[in-house]
Structure 1
């Protein structure tokens, strides 16, 4: 699962904050509200769906690890105890839905995208207001 999306989508996820900010800026300066809002909703909902799937994967792995840890392993037959300990150790390893090599797609990443898009939007607005005052 750790090779789930790969290098093909890395560029998309690296640039998504800028794309969202540009659509927001277009929405602010444009008179066509319907197109801008629909584009913005498609981008944000699509990103939310991917990040939600990644967060659900992480949450379910943690829940499975916790319930497995609370299993009364001492009641297992001796030949299954070694298999159980290997399985328990494997469940302690993190499992992420990610765009290799660096991006874990979860709610934390979604918040970084939204914060980045807001920061870039404020930069665009500031630059726009500076150029309009010089005219």
Structure 2
């Protein structure tokens, strides 16, 4: 978490190149989404717990009779017990402990996922600021001032690239594996919902899918915006620049031809193509699970 804290400080640091005009409005918009998603998480934890305790106990008892299990019904999560009954107060203790563990585990993880999207929005604000600075370069008449301003823009560009690379490294450590396990997770939770019509499963799969969407959305935004920096020159008065200045601009455009990505583990990147692939793979797994279940019943 200390590394993430230092990363947030670097991303939000505007002392060197000024405050991007769109940073404030974007921050307010993202904060509203963060509040909504965290509230959904807390509501989901409570609803999941209540549904598991009161609504799914009937299904649990039925499965125990059919398969001769000793699972204690009326619990938040599946709970095996060596005896057929359990003391009421002990059962309440285990329920409270499970709810506490879920409340400690899920909301912080969700906050970190939303923070990835918040970082992307803040970085995009800096990229938009950089574009405006590139356009301002050609509004300056003196050549030496143009060169100094362009040099400052290039330094800003290099700083943004460094921030994205550091952000990508930390994101890869924490969420890179989502590209390989998300399809399996979504398909299993959806299969549970289709099989026993669990409210908790529905809440879980919706929140998990939105989290994956946020990761892919953040990666797609960074990929597009880092590539589109070169568009600032097309929208400017580049034709008024000196040949010497145009040579420097060529190197900036060449660097923009290689967009920056939010990498996944073990390979690939987070973008909309990855999101479509995850959804298609999850559907394939879900079809396989349903077919296997039907074959087993026969």
TM-score with structure 1 setting the length? 0.84
Unaligned runs of 5+ in 1: none
Equivalent position of 2:256 in the other structure: 91
Matched, 1:46 2:211: yes
Q: CA RMSD in A?
A: 2.0
Q: How many residues align?
A: 132
Is the contact between residue 2 and residue 98 of structure 1 (CA under 8 Å) also seen in structure 2?
no
Aligned to 1:102: 267
Distance 1:62 1:25, change over 3 A: same
Any conservation in 1 of the 2:224–2:259 contact (CA below 8 Å)? no
- Judge conservation of contact 2:216–2:272 (CA < 8 Å) in 1: yes
What per-residue deviation string (whole Å, max 9, x for no partner) do you get for residues 47-103 of structure 1?
A: 111111111122223432234346443421344222211111111112212225522
CA–CA separation in structure 1 for the residues paired with 2:238 and 2:184: 50
Specify the alignment match of 2:66 in structure 1.
none
2:238 to 49, 67, 73: 73
Larger Rg: 2
2:171 is equivalent to residue 11 of structure 1: no
Q: Structure 1 residues 60, 11: closer, same or farther in 2, change over 3 A?
A: closer
Choose between structure 1 and 2 for higher RCO, CA contacts under 8 A separated by at least 6 residues. 1
- Give the Cα separation in 2 of the matches to 1:10 and 1:74: 43
Q: Deviations over 1:1-28 (max 9, x none)?
A: 3560225533332111000000000101
Q: 2:196 matched to which residue of 1?
A: 30
Matching residue of 2:77: none
